[in-house]
């Protein structure tokens, strides 16, 4: 494993920590009714979007081990999907933190599953505003995002604004 691969692996772990930070903020404090909210007829609810993010995280781990198989989970509650989101982040980050080989380049894992998951977290954030339960914006450049911190407990925002 060369230095370039190590740097790519570290960057992927940072992306996973960023996903945890932003995802935690997007789901924190959402009212119970939010899970079923849709912005338009036929649109996906936050619950459906979060379930898809969980599928993406589980897929990321499978890809890292050499298994490209896609698998959709059965629907569960909003609270269970939040737990699944953080469990998926933790499992994937733990694998990346180990010395286990990564079957595909970290950049490809990022461009697929992780970038898609970040997009979907953005959808959840937008739906928060549309549902009447907006989260505060912040300067994410200043956010305290730490490799390995992938649980629901994140450092409070340094600077939030409306």
pLDDT at 17: 98
pLDDT above 80: residue 2: no
Cβ atoms 35, 45 nearer than 8 A: yes
pLDDT single digits (tens) 9-53: 999 999 999 999 999 999 999 999 999 999 999 999 999 999 999
Report the predicted TM-score, pTM, of the whole model to 2 decimal places.
0.94
Tens-digit pLDDT profile for residues 116-161: 999 999 999 999 999 999 999 999 999 999 999 999 999 999 888 8
- Rounded Cα distance between 110 and 124, Å, is 20
Query: Quick one: how far is CA 13 from the chain centroid?
Result: 12
Q: How far apart are CA 66 and CA 13, in angstroms?
A: 18
Element (H, E) at 160: strand 160-161
């Amino acid at each position: 494993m060369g230095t370039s691969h190590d740097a790519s692996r570290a960057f992927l772990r940072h992306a996973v920590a960023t996903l945890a930070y932003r995802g935690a903020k997007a789901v924190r404090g959402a009212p119970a009714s939010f899970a079923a909210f849709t912005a338009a007829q036929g649109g996906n609810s936050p619950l459906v979007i979060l379930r898809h993010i969980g599928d993406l995280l589980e897929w990321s781990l499978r890809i890292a081990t050499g298994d490209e198989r896609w698998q959709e989970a059965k629907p569960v509650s909003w609270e269970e999907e939040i737990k699944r989101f953080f469990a998926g982040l933790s499992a994937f980050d733990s694998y990346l933190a180990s010395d286990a080989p990564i079957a595909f380049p970290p950049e490809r894992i990022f461009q697929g599953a992780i970038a898609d998951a970040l997009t979907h977290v953005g959808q959840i954030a937008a739906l928060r505003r549309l549902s009447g339960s907006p989260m505060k914006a912040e300067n994410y450049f200043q956010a305290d995002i730490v490799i390995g911190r992938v649980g629901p407990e994140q450092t409070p925002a340094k600077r939030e604004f409306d």
